[in-house]
Chains A and B, each alone.
Chain A
Amino acid sequence: MIEFISILTVVFVVAAIVVLLAARLPVSAIPLYLLTGVLVGAFIDESQILELAQWGIAFLVFLFGVRIDAETLETTGRVGTLTALAQAVLVGGITFILAVVLDLSALNAGYLAVAAALSSSLVGVSYLERAVEFRTTSDRLGESIHFVEDVLGVVVLLALAAFVYLPESDEAVVIGTGIETLLVGTVALFATALAIRRWVFSRLIAQFEGDSEVLMLVGITFVVLGIGVSEAIGVSIAVGAFAAGLAVADEYPYSLELVDTVDDLTDFFVPIFFVTVGALVSLPDATTVTYTVLLLVVVLVVNPLLTAGILRWHGFSERTAVLTGLRLDQLSEFSLVIAIQAAILGTIAPSVFEAIVLAALVTMLVSSYTTHHDEAIYRRLAAIVPGDPTVGGARVETSAVLEDHVVIIGFETVGRVLFEHCLERGHDCLVVVDNPVHAEAVADAGGEYVVGDVVDPNTREHASLESAALIASTLPQRDLNESVAAVETDAPVAVVAIPSEHAEAFYDAGADYVAVPDLEAADRLEGYVERALEGKIEHLRDAVESERIE
């Protein structure tokens, strides 16, 4: 037992030191845990904590299942799905062929292909820090592509269980499981999970609202049940945990206790999992290095470019295409789950396994960097390849040049409201969008649009920024707004600052007006709060009443 505790102590102390040293860098914790594993691998017997590491997998996949909701897929869902599938098939296919050329068996080449094709929804999630309402098009695209790839990961796990592990299994014959049990069992598992989510879950959970201890146990029960069923039918525990996650809805307001608590538990087991995976790597030999380099090239270069190309072809702006591509330049945690299961079962060549772990480590580190500097990378690219914006709306038909028009940048909630206001008041206006769906909506309403980015000179020209009356950027993105503010024009430039700390930088860049929601609210509330605290709260209530009626 003392040995067990000593291993866990080493894992957490070294992980703590590593994340602490990297605290000032914009690096995701997961590659740091992998790195910790590589560092301590020689000193600990990781097989001892393999069991706890499996809990890491289970909780991780469970949470992924929990977070799935119908809305994720609505706006960019179809495009995201198509892009993810096309990208996965192409990248996977290329890798598979290259791996076969390198003389790997079909199964091992398959492992490499899967590793190359899927990217991580855990590492590429910087957008999750932004409130849902302020996510950009590339945030949403990234989210839905990651989502589809995670589902693909689950499908691969299922397929491996059905076609690779099962036929090779001796025990399967003994305990009477076969392909039929597996298929029927899986279908039943998911059907039950969805039925629970639909009809049972809310009722069950409402009994325990606010009782985090019991809710935690309810969460764990779901995970344990999912794992139990998956073991009984002979699929990976990850599949069972995923189904369990599907049964639990991340629903307002219950998420506060149940999901957050499971989240906190996951934070404990996740380092154990990734450190264990890292610890399984030994000093790489030439073969391992070859496979690693293959994965690195495919994931870091081919994958983003291909994704960006597909999105451009769909009609998204260059900037959005590039930014989205840059979110997909890392290996998925699902690939690690697949690899470690294959390693435990002995169906993967050690060099392939190690290459996958090493490539995951490197790409996740690189990805933290590229995500952090994505705008700068895009601007470099844009300087080399000038943009090719699409223009549309009534002006194209009349070929009139716009003058004294309002330029609205972005067509999310605020942009839409502003656009409708302009139409209503009869102001000429043009919307700069990055999403073909938005372009269509603008055109349908009788407006003008440019699909492009203000950073790009061609777009600026097409939008006639120089002759505009007023330019309003409605998206709260720092880099975008700084470049909008810096546009050379006589027209006043207004941008949005969320959080308010950005406001000063926008003024420095040359903005004429910065809309800051905190300050707008403060302007309205200051007097009322004073009076409410003096006991005259009705003034505020009356004001709110009349405002809401409006």
Chain B
Amino acid sequence: MSAESIALATDFAILLLAAAVLSTVARLAKQPTIVAYILTGLLVGPVVFGVVTEDALIEVIAELGLGLLLFLLGIEMSFENVKDILKPVGAIAVGQAILQACLSTAVALGLGFTLFESLVIALATTFGATPIIVKVLSSKNELKSLYGRVDVGVLIFQDIYLIVALAILSVEAAGDPQAIALNVGRVSGLMILVGVVTYLSYKYVLPAILRASADDDRTLFTVAVGWAFLFIYVAEVGGLTVEVGGFFAGLALAQLPYSLEIKERMRPITDFFIVIFFASIGLQMETAQLLAYWQEALIACAVLLAGNFVIVYGLFVSQGFDSETSFLGTISMLQVSEFSLVLGALAVDQGFIEADILGFFSLMALVTMTLSTYVIIYNRDIYDRVEPYLERFEREETIDSSVGAHENHAVVVGVDGLTDRLLPALRDHCDEVVLVDRSVEYVEEFADTGKADQNDDIEFVFGDARHADVRQELNLENAAALISVAERPAVNKRLLEETRGGAIEDPLTIVTANDPETVERLYEQGADYVVATQSLVSDALISLLEDYFENDDAFADRLETRAASIRGEDDD
């Protein structure tokens, strides 16, 4: 025996390596990484080199990646974000499903497929590719924009009827209406159950669990992973998709103050797994199949893209969205989901369609996903060009719903004696003070009770400022003042850069450092004042010493003032 027998899966390693190299190249060439990941799958998979097959580990990791991506999405979905757009989203989702299905059936029939095949094609191509949309929108930071929220809402609706479709197709004795009804009933019941459990745990279970675990970074992380896996597992066992499980697990956390930190801690592992997910899409394809219906697939792509654009855009406008939101929302959803492959494979198993049609799905998914990644990335540039032609369709009264950001505010990173003392001045002069800290005790102290209380102008963010998304939540570009007592020099550097590079001219910046070298560096980076912990202590002790030898009154005064200020603190 040699070390070979305990080798890590070579397939997995090769896949990762290829993905890393290709995405690095993609990033240097300013191309989206998702395209690089899908290409990786094609390249190492059967289509080009055929060195990697989709083994069990890759399959599981891909699946988990999808579950975790939806978990993060669920976390972002706080109720406020969706409640005022729930109705239009429902209308768009239903309308889109029916109209697109009709269109796809017609197109498929026109391309010479049988009626049965056409129906399966219609069913399989109605879904937008959730992972692509979520990933690209989140890297553009537009998940919370109006169009982003509408898209996500529609995708969730799509997921629900995807599950129903899977339930119908997976019945052993195809065509037995009783079995189908039973299966659909079972999944629907399970969905409702998961929903209820989510709500109950958000209300009664999670707050206590998270409060107990949030003070320790690793405990919070382990608990969050355990929570996500529990839902993913239950969904998987119950015949729902991992997506649904992950989404509900995240949703239960969304309303809680710890969600931002959890999301940021889970992001790297999700990014890691989702690479495997995208690559595995490419891995599932085979050249022979891919080319079996290539002309039909390309024609279908073109016709459906145009047709679906008209359908979805029309639905958006009819629901009262302005032309920009409608356009951005529509073009994000114009792709064929990887689930078309899953549904297609099921249909092949049941003998509804021939295996070659899978290639048709694959090619469509591949082309539309790649195209759509670029479209979403450059969506605003495209909109600027077509705006004049679209505006005439806009309704007079449009829905306006935005999630507010802080402005003319002070950002305080870390709570300690210094920030405590500066707080009154900051509250006097700024509209709002945003406090960020990693301790649970402040969560309750500054909790937003909804009632008018003395902390109304203080917003507390639970999280570590080392995460880019936590810093983004602080809206540093528009901050009038930054006071940071964060320990890590690199964090202070980023905070400084982001505050000073922002819209506010000459913001006040105060940061902390322990050693002289870092103090100098932070001054060079533009800090107005650097709290140099060590030299403050030395200075204090030296002054004390001097007063002791030179000036008895001053010495006594020093002792008294300090003792009073410490003792006084616990009177509060």
Residues 437-485 of A at the B interface (beta carbon under 8 Å) = 469-470, 472, 474
Taken residue by residue from 476 to 500, chain B's Cβ proximity to chain A (1 for < 8 Å, 0 otherwise) reads as 0000110001011111011000000
Nearest B-chain residue to A13, judged by Cβ: B226
Check B109 for interface membership: any CB of A closer than 8 A.
no
Interface residue count on the A side (C-beta < 8 Å): 120
B:527-572 near A, CB below 8 Å: 528-529, 531, 533-542, 544-546, 548-549, 555, 558-559, 562-563, 565-567, 569-570
Q: Is B508 interfacial (CB-CB < 8 Å)?
A: yes
Q: From known contacts A5-B60, A516-B417, infer whether A216 and B559 are also in contact, taking CB-CB under 8 Å.
A: no
Assuming the contacts A51-B57, A345-B5, A422-B545, asked whether A217 and B20 have C-beta atoms less than 8 A apart, the reply is yes
The 8 Å CB contact of A218, one of B20, B63, B275, B510, is B20
Beyond A5-B229, A231-B7, A548-B523, whether A345 also contacts B222 by CB under 8 A is: no
Q: For the complex, is B21 an interface residue (Cβ under 8 Å from A)?
A: yes
B218 at the interface (CB under 8 A from A): yes
Type the 1/0 row for B89-117, where 1 means its CB is closer than 8 Å to any CB of A: 00000000000000000000000000000
Q: Is the CB of A268 within 8 A of B536?
A: no
* Neighbour of A12 across the interface among B21, B139, B219, B225, CB < 8 A: B225
Bound complex: CA of A514 vs CA of B291, how far in Å? 78
Which of B3, B24, B218, B531 counts the most A-chain CB atoms under 10 A from its CB?
B3
Pick out which of these stretches binds chain A: B75-83, B369-377, B398-406, B418-426.
Answer: B418-426
- Which of chain A's residues has its CB closest to B264's CB? A264
Given A268-B225, A529-B425, decide whether A1 and B272 contact each other with a Cβ distance below 8 A: no
Q: Which of A8-44 contact B (CB under 8 A)?
A: 8-9, 12-13, 15-17, 19-20, 23-24, 29
- Per the 8 Å Cβ criterion, residues 217-244 of A in contact with B are 217-218, 220-221, 224-225, 227-228, 230-231, 234-237
Find chain B residues with CB under 8 A from A271 CB.
222
- Is A268 a contact partner of B2 (Cβ separation < 8 A)? no
Which residue of B425, B523, B533, B541 is within 8 Å of A530 (Cβ)?
Answer: B425
B447 part of interface (Cβ distance < 8 Å): no
B450 within 8 A of A: no
- Which B residues are in CB contact (< 8 Å) with A172? 2
* B538 contacts across to A, CB distance below 8 A: 413-414, 417-418
B16 within 8 A of A: yes
| Extra contacts besides A237-B3, A517-B540 (20): CB < 8 Å | A5-B60, A5-B63, A165-B2, A172-B2, A224-B20, A225-B17, A234-B3, A234-B4, A253-B490, A344-B6, A413-B534, A413-B538, A414-B534, A421-B545, A422-B545, A496-B541, A499-B416, A515-B537, A515-B544, A529-B422
| Residues of A bordering B, CB below 8 Å | 1-2, 4-6, 8-9, 12-13, 15-17, 19-20, 23-24, 29, 51-52, 54-55, 58, 131-134, 161, 165-166, 168-172, 175, 177, 207-208, 210-214, 216-218, 220-221, 224-225, 227-228, 230-231, 234-237, 252-253, 255-256, 260-262, 264-265, 267-268, 271, 341, 344-346, 406, 413-414, 417-418, 421-422, 425, 427, 469-470, 472, 474, 492, 494, 496, 498-500, 503-504, 507, 512-522, 525-526, 528-530, 532-534, 537, 540-541, 544, 548
Residues on B lying within 8 angstroms of A by beta carbon are 1-9, 13, 16-17, 19-21, 23-24, 27-28, 33, 56-57, 59-60, 63-64, 139, 209, 212-213, 215-216, 218-219, 221-223, 225-227, 229-230, 232-233, 236-237, 265, 267-269, 271-272, 275, 410, 416-418, 420-422, 425-426, 428-430, 466, 468, 480-481, 485, 487-491, 493-494, 506, 508, 510, 514-515, 523, 528-529, 531, 533-542, 544-546, 548-549, 555, 558-559, 562-563, 565-567, 569-570
